[in-house]
Structure 1
């Protein structure tokens, strides 16, 4: 071996490699108050940074908010959402409402991408090995304060706003309306309903919110069954009985939905539909009864989870059909399932108790199902991903899941 080769070999063996320490500590899934990071923002004007951030998907915003205080400030700035709106960058963002008993005030979470660890040779290899096992999605707690109670409330979204309407307020019916701005994660009060309601059901039809539900039974009448809110005029109006005869006994409503330009109210043997254009009530056949609260409407089709399978309602044939092609999901209790329209796909959330020696916790699962209508009587679903997105105490329950459209 020639001296130069020997010299090169010696220098390569004596060179010190940078220390590769394993980072075993998992990043927090809760967004804490941001502290100044050692990583500083690039020396770019704020308007340039805002233009760059406007192109990034919102699922990365919780991770980016951990970079520094200034990043977090920019991500919550009105200028960012004005820029996103001007370039037409609207996204469907999934929000989940959890209640941690006995606290009556819920906590809100949003689906986002899990912050990556510091990339080293070791965890890059691990990441490749786990690539097929993990979706990378988690639920991150949003920094909204003073979230109003959501028990028995009617929750709907219009644009980037989530409306929390009525419900159980200290075991009394309520007429209050609270609105969560999903751009800034701040609450504001909206105009109160005309009637105090408990076990409230809300639906959006033609840009207006229809709310059904009664207060105390002895104080209720059929003329108070439903009222409608117009976001443009910020006013409520009672829905009169119109035509259709007596409404009958509908003191308890277990579910509702808005499809085919009608608002459906499922109340056991007395299911009804309201047609706003003709101001008309009509009775609905029992075959349409949506028994379970785990349902949602996606592109004018009503879906529900029933006995371990997903179904959709065929309004032409007036019967429930099985959603075909959905495989790979574990069994879960239908009482814990929550379905949501996630930008034309179906988001499904459920929980499962996991016992381990000396500790029992609950994990929250999420799955996203792509939907495809192949003909008039067939809709197929394909599970795009499923994963555990949060670990919580056993006292925690999933109350609601819904998606807002945020520019």
Structure 2
């Protein structure tokens, strides 16, 4: 029996006008281009076409992404880099492996669409002058010209024009000299020392002071806030990055979120009346031993990270987004779990509660216009 003429076949998405299809797909996060390519040959062709990128440029489709460097287990000496995709479901997407021996105690900072990895050491604890850059549009690593001075556990910040300022992490012989810091110029790909007369000095309390520490804020007993990260500025050899501590901006006031003994704590950085307390309201994840905290560059929010182990000898990496409540009576003690997901699973169940060696680095990147490539 023939179908009634009044009955119509289902309308395919690709049967819509091409301009409508492009406009719809241009609003899908770039992190899902790989998934879209698996739908059909037609989708793969659209994703690979310059028309889709042109439409994203037209609607100014920018995306903020959290990149993390994790040490998954002790059997693999090289950490792994991921990007945290938050739509439609939170997942860690692996990036191509770092093609060189991964340095320990290196400095990581971002500028524009690139993440820079500076100094550190690979063998025998010897400081390194090596520098690398990750292009977050193509996800390819490349070597940069070496720094002038070998460094590990250095601090870094980025000027508004893209210049990268690197501080400390060198031998004590360079203290109180212009070589204590140096500047990288991305446009010329050259390293230059600090200008004469701008070298840093240690004050009588042993805390380093330098006028060229851009936008640095010193908190009494809390360290140096630099580029959204916290550094311990009481060591004459380095400005060591404080692990598992990140800045939280709430109502124009700076706080520090930290993971200690498996729990999330919040500290007020007000020098006049500093205080700190464990964050309550996290009953949904309180049974887990938290390992790390990272800022997603969103107001009043942090991400916390932990591991679980299955009977099948697999390790699950979990992440949760925590929203801090508005301060009440000058203190902030509660948080709300906005989401909590198993973001990555891998074979092996090596138990490790050392929070300092899990989430090694993170950077928040705002990417625009160009397609993001994945393995």
Q: TM-score, normalised by structure 2?
A: 0.67
Aligned to 2:107: 154
Q: Of the candidates 117, 136, 150, which is equivalent to residue 196 of structure 1?
A: 150
Aligned to 2:230: none
Which is higher, the Rg of structure 1 or of structure 2? Answer: 1
Question: SS where residue 39 of structure 2 aligns?
Answer: coil
The answer on whether the counterparts of 2:324 and 2:335 sit within 8 Å (CA) in structure 1 is: yes
Aligned to 1:97: 69
The 3 A distance-change label for structure 1 pair 372 and 160 is farther
The 3 A distance-change label for structure 1 pair 108 and 209 is same
For the pair 1:106 / 2:59, whether they are aligned, the reply is no
Q: Of the candidates 143, 147, 166, which is equivalent to residue 211 of structure 1?
A: 166
For the pair 1:246 / 2:196, whether they are aligned, the reply is no
Aligned-residue offset at 1:366: 0.5
Aligned to 2:121: 168
- Partners of 2:123 and 2:242 in 1: CA distance: 25
Aligned to 2:4: none
Q: What is the CA deviation profile of residues 265-300 of structure 1, one whole-angstrom value per residue up to 9, with x for unaligned ones?
A: 99xx996689xxxxxxxx88xxxx999511223458
The 3 A distance-change label for structure 1 pair 295 and 151 is same
For the pair 1:314 / 2:290, whether they are aligned, the reply is no
Q: Of the candidates 360, 365, 369, which is equivalent to residue 399 of structure 1?
A: 360
Unaligned runs of 5+ in 2: 1-12, 227-232, 353-357, 369-375
The 3 A distance-change label for structure 1 pair 298 and 273 is closer
Aligned to 2:373: none
- Partners of 1:167 and 1:383 in 2: CA distance: 35
Q: Of the candidates 307, 310, 322, which is equivalent to residue 352 of structure 1?
A: 307
Aligned to 1:182: 136
Aligned-residue offset at 1:148: 5.8
For the pair 1:330 / 2:279, whether they are aligned, the reply is no
Question: SS where residue 345 of structure 2 aligns?
Answer: strand
The 3 A distance-change label for structure 1 pair 66 and 184 is farther
- Partners of 1:370 and 1:53 in 2: CA distance: 30
Q: What is the CA deviation profile of residues 7-61 of structure 1, one whole-angstrom value per residue up to 9, with x for unaligned ones?
A: xxxxxxxxxxxxxxxxxxxxxxxxxxxxxxxxxx958999886654322123533
For the pair 1:361 / 2:314, whether they are aligned, the reply is yes
Aligned-residue offset at 1:385: 0.7
The 3 A distance-change label for structure 1 pair 142 and 104 is same
Q: TM-score, normalised by structure 1?
A: 0.62
Point out which structure has higher relative CO (alpha carbons under 8 A, 6+ apart).
2
Unaligned runs of 5+ in 1: 1-40, 116-135, 275-282
Aligned-residue offset at 1:242: 3.6
Aligned to 1:7: none
